[in-house]
Amino acid sequence: MCSDECRKVTASQAKQQFKERNKDDKSEQFYEGTYQYWYNRLRKLKRNNSDGKFEKEIAALTAATKKFRTEAVKKKADVKSRKMKLMEFRAWLLEQQNLVDGMMKWGK
């Protein structure tokens, strides 16, 4: 059985190995950038929630983020299997950034 520290090190190493394997994969790079965009918006909303007035919005954005990730993984697989063009995937990711920006109007 692995300790918490061991699990953290193992997870970190696995992430580094994944990044190294996919450093030239444009679909992975595009996805990672958009995922970070969503993640940072969610963090910002949580940061602005000191008085608790954005609980419903945080729940909605968390659910939307999970949906985005599920759809993105499928579309990324479609790009890798050549069912979808890379630039179509990129355009879809940009639409998703616009979606999260629209949702973030709550937190302003």
Query: Rounded to whole angstroms, how far apart are CA atoms 37 and 103?
Result: 13
pLDDT score recorded for residue 96: 95
pLDDT score recorded for residue 24: 76
- Walk along the chain (108 residues) and give the pLDDT tens digit of each residue: 688 888 887 877 777 765 676 667 889 999 999 999 999 999 998 998 889 888 999 999 999 999 999 999 999 999 999 999 999 999 999 999 999 998 887 544
Query: Rounded to whole angstroms, how far apart are CA atoms 32 and 58?
Result: 21
Beta-carbon contacts of 10 under 8 Å, excluding residues fewer than 6 positions away, are 2
> Angle 64-43-8 (CA atoms, 0-180°, nearest 5)?
100
Backbone angles phi, psi at 63, to 5 degrees: -65, -40
